[in-house]
Structure 1
Amino acid sequence: MANEAIINIRIDESIKNKASKVLADSGLTTSVAVRLFLLKVIQEKSVPAELMMPNPKTVRAMKAARSGRTSKAKNKKDLFKKLNA
Structure 2
Amino acid sequence: MAKTANINVRIEPEVKQQAEDLFSSFGISVTDAINIFLHTSIMEGGFPFTIRQPRFNAETIAAMQEACDIMSGKIQAKSYKTTNELLQALNAED
Stretches of structure 2 that go unaligned for 5 or more consecutive residues are 58-94
Q: Counterpart of 1:13?
A: 13
**How many matched pairs?**
57
Matches for 1:5-84 after TM superposition, within 5 Å: 5-50=5-50, 52-54=51-53, 56=55
In the aligned structure 1, how far is the partner of 2:45 from the partner of 2:54? 21
Change (3 A) 1:17 1:46: same
The structural deviation recorded for 1:48 is: 1.2
Counterpart residue type for residue 32 of structure 1: D
Percent of paired sites with the same residue: 28
Stretches of structure 1 that go unaligned for 5 or more consecutive residues are 61-85
The structural deviation recorded for 1:2 is: 2.1
In the aligned structure 2, how far is the partner of 1:9 from the partner of 1:28? 18
The structural deviation recorded for 1:55 is: 6.6
* Bigger Rg, which one: 2
Question: After the TM superposition, which segments of 4 or more aligned residues of structure 1 sit over 3 Å from their partners?
Answer: none
TM-score by length of 1: 0.58
Counterpart residue type for residue 15 of structure 2: I
The structural deviation recorded for 1:49 is: 2.2
SS at match of 2:4: coil
Q: State the Cα RMSD in Å.
A: 2.0
